Amino acid sequence: MNLHKYIRDIYVTKFPELENLILNPLDYVKCILKIKNETDMNKVDLTGFLTQHTIMAITLAGSSTTGKPLPEKDLERAIETCDLVMKLDEIKTKILKYVESRMQFIAPNLCEVVGSTAAAQLIAAAGGLEALASTPACNIQVLGAQRKNLLGFSKAVQKTHLGLFGTMDMVKNAPKEFQVKLVRLLSTNCAKAARVDSLRTDLTGSIGRDLKNKMYARFDKIQEPPPPKLRKPLAAPDDKPKRRRGGKKYRNLKEKTAMTEFRRQANRMKFGAEGEEEYRDTGVGFGMLGNSGLGKVKVQVKDRKINLTKKQKIEQARNMGNSNASGLTSSIILNSTRGIELYNPSYVQRVSEGTKGTDTFFNAASGFSTVLKAKQPGNNILGNFAVPKAK
């Protein structure tokens, strides 16, 4: 990666658009070895490691590029670095082949799940067996994934989140709609097998075979079509009358929700008449309300009875029996000779019936009576005289 960055810094003067068109470092190095200082892209053969639409994009970009040919020294440095990258890639391939040949001893359970080639690639991408064992399954799923430049093409057919598992024959031969689910199963079981191999608990690979068999059974279960929908027979008819609450409470409820004459006329429409009007743009029309020949709609107002308790009824009867006068009667009257005078209608009624008392509180025949009793001569606080009655 460091050498790739060094090459880009040099070759950006010649072809600045190339690093955006090719994101894979090895493909970028191979393109530089093919192009070198050539200005006509039609003379360069890039087939064998690039797709046709990528070659077309490079040809169009090379014909209109703003780059200039490199000096001889810079071109030699770039080519030497490219050769070094290719040698490093060959060495990496040899190491992978050696690891692949020894995978049955290094990670037997992982080889049983995905095979020796994919197991070696996973260990190399993770940085070792212990690093792979400590990596979560969601990260193992995308190990080895490389960025791709779609060059304006649609992403609908592009496979994402597959990583190294996308190169396996098992995934390629699976149906497209189930490939992502299969990769998830593989990454989960690879994480389990790598942890078993890292701890060296099973060197025979039996745990890996069990994981592989369970994975295949699970994947077959996923691919099964859903069960067909069965036609359910209709339920037996229930001819019994529905139980409804009866009595006064239910009748009052029906009266509240009953259709009124006003609403009935609003819901009706007259045949052949013009379009009805709406009430304030609400979408609710007037129906046949206000049309001629229908008369007036009577609004029935029901008198609501007030239920009183027995005690309240007795109190109401007592008040009605005692109050014979109208509500305009006042207890204060204006007399022409004596001025304002208090008046008690119930007291006057008792006087007329023969009870003790006078017709008014302040009568001319009555005077002020003493509030103190006459005391004995020897025990008189106010002295030896009595308070006379005022006439």
Exposed, middle or buried, 76 (CB in 10 Å: 0-12/13-18/19+)? Answer: exposed
Instruction: Look at residue 61 in the predicted model and tell me its pLDDT.
Output: 85
**DSSP at 342:** E
pLDDT score for 168: 86
Residue partners of 103: CB distance under 8 A and separation at least 6: 110, 111, 116, 119, 120
Classify domain 103-223 by CATH number. Answer: 1.10.246.90
Start-end of CATH 1.10.287.4070 domains in the chain: 2-96
In this prediction, residue 383 carries a pLDDT of 46
Residue 308's alpha-carbon distances to 48, 256, 299, in angstroms, are 103, 22, 28
Identify whether the C-beta of residue 68 lies closer than 8 Å to the C-beta of residue 49.
Answer: no
pLDDT at 385: 45
Question: What CATH code is assigned to 2-96?
Answer: 1.10.287.4070
Task: State residue 110's pLDDT score.
Answer: 92
**Which residue is it, tokens 């040919």?**
69
Q: What is the pLDDT of residue 59?
A: 86
CB 185, CB 217: distance < 8 Å: no
Distance between CA atoms of residues 76 and 86, nearest Å: 15
DSSP-H helix ranges across the chain: 2-11, 18-21, 25-35, 52-63, 72-101, 103-106, 108-114, 116-126, 129-133, 137-140, 169-173, 179-199, 206-223, 248-256, 261-267, 310-322, 345-352
Q: Which residue type does 13 have? A: T
Question: Count of alpha carbons within 13 Å of 138, Cβ hemisphere only?
Answer: 0
**Do residues 185 and 83 touch, judged by C-beta distance below 8 A?**
no
Residues of the chain under the 70 pLDDT cut: 147-161, 243-245, 272-281, 283, 290-305, 320-391
> What residues contact residue 90 under an 8 Å CB cut-off, 6+ apart?
none
Q: Where in the chain is the domain with CATH 1.10.246.90?
A: 103-223
- The pLDDT value recorded for residue 316 is 79
Residues for the chain: how many in total?
A: 391
